[in-house]
């Protein structure tokens, strides 16, 4: 059994089947990607894993423990980090304050004690360390809503790191980025998963990114898993070529 086991998971909305009988087994420290056309069910699957939606059927296990239907805050506390398609930061706070707020939350300290928490060296040290890891120390005092888009996405990854996840779910981490921002973000992700020894599960539409970072690729189409395998195997799969990659 891997770090994340998904067994026959289905989820529908108003009679529309978003994912149907999907099974996956993600191994520890593996880099896995999900690809597929828009509406294939990729984000729905992430929402089920992270506790935003309960599945209609099936089971999800993390590190051998059943997490099916558990609330999102419980799943986060168990060691699953998550980013979203739309950047999820506090735009009126500085980069440092965003990270510090996440550290406070994941240390079970109330956000209302924000000012006094600034004087707690351990929390400050953790926040600065994360800023260093995501290479945003020089923007620590910049209001995050004023930061370049690529840096906002880095900041969101930093927020996800605050609970020291062993599994990181990234939902289209390079969407909307310039080629240089994409290359920089990929280098960052590769370094983080190596240094932190994390498992990575990523939704991504940029095939250059997918094929460069993935150990294994899953392909969803109309809610169903149609293929899985190494990048080389998926690239040659005729069902995948017909459904998504094209000739």
Q: How far apart are CA 117 and CA 102, in angstroms?
A: 12
Q: Which of 135, 164, 193 is the last residue of a domain?
A: 164
For the segment 137-147, the average pLDDT, to the nearest whole number, is: 97
- Give yes or no: residues 68 and 101 share one domain: no
Cβ burial of 175 (10 Å; 0-12, 13-18, 19+) is middle
Q: How far apart are CA 39 and CA 141, in angstroms?
A: 38
- The CB density around residue 91, as the number of other CB atoms within 10 Å, is 12
Binning pLDDT at 50, 70 and 90, where does residue 104 land? Answer: confident
- Give yes or no: residues 170 and 73 share one domain: yes
C-alpha closest to that of 201 among 79, 105, 89: 79
- Give yes or no: residues 97 and 126 share one domain: yes
**Each residue's pLDDT tens digit, 48-86:** 999 999 999 999 999 999 999 999 999 999 999 999 877
- Give yes or no: residues 109 and 73 share one domain: no
- The CB density around residue 180, as the number of other CB atoms within 10 Å, is 9
Q: How far apart are CA 235 and CA 11, in angstroms?
A: 28
- Give yes or no: residues 2 and 118 share one domain: no
CATH value at residue 196:
3.40.50.300
- What is the reported pTM? 0.90
- 107, pLDDT greater than 80: no
Query: What's the DSSP call for residue 27?
Result: P
Q: How far apart are CA 15 and CA 106, in angstroms?
A: 37
Q: Residue 50's domain spans which residues? A: 1-79+166-247
Instruction: Report the percentage of the chain scoring pLDDT > 90.
Output: 82
Q: Which of 164, 189, 214 is the last residue of a domain?
A: 164
- Give yes or no: residues 63 and 132 share one domain: no
- Give yes or no: residues 149 and 225 share one domain: no
State the pLDDT at residue 52. Answer: 94
Q: Which of 164, 186, 214 is the last residue of a domain?
A: 164
Q: Look at the chain and report how many structural domains it folds into.
A: 2
State the pLDDT at residue 121. Answer: 82
- Give yes or no: residues 71 and 181 share one domain: yes
The two three-digit tokens of residue 188, written as one number: 């960052």
Contact 29, 199 (CB under 8 A): yes
- Give yes or no: residues 14 and 122 share one domain: no
- Give yes or no: residues 148 and 92 share one domain: yes
Strands lying side by side in the sheet with 31-35: 80-82, 167-171, 199-203, 31-35, 216-221, 224-229
């Amino acid at each position: 059994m891997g770090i994340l086991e998904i067994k026959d998971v289905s989820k529908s909305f108003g009679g529309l089947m978003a994912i149907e009988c999907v099974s996956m087994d993600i191994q520890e420290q593996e880099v896995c990607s999900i690809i597929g056309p828009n509406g294939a069910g990729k984000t729905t699957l992430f929402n089920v894993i992270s506790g935003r939606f309960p599945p209609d059927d099936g089971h999800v296990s993390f590190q051998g423990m059943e997490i099916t239907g558990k609330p999102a805050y419980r799943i986060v506390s168990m060691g699953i980090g998550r980013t979203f398609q739309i950047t999820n930061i506090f735009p009126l706070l500085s980069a440092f304050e965003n990270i510090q707020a996440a550290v406070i939350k994941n240390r079970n300290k109330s956000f209302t004690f924000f000012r006094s928490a600034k004087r707690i060296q351990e929390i400050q040290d953790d926040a600065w360390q994360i800023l260093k890891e995501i290479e945003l120390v020089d923007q620590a005092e910049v209001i995050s809503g004023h930061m370049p888009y690529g840096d906002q996405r880095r900041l969101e990854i930093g927020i996800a790191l605050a609970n020291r996840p062993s599994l990181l779910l990234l939902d289209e981490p390079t969407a909307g980025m310039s080629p240089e921002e994409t290359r920089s973000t990929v280098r960052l992700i590769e370094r983080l998963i190596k240094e932190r020894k994390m498992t990575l599960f990523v939704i991504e539409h940029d095939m250059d990114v997918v094929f460069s970072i993935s150990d294994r690729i899953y392909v969803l189409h109309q809610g169903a898993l149609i293929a899985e395998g190494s990048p080389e195997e998926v690239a040659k799969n005729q069902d995948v070529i017909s459904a998504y990659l094209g000739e």
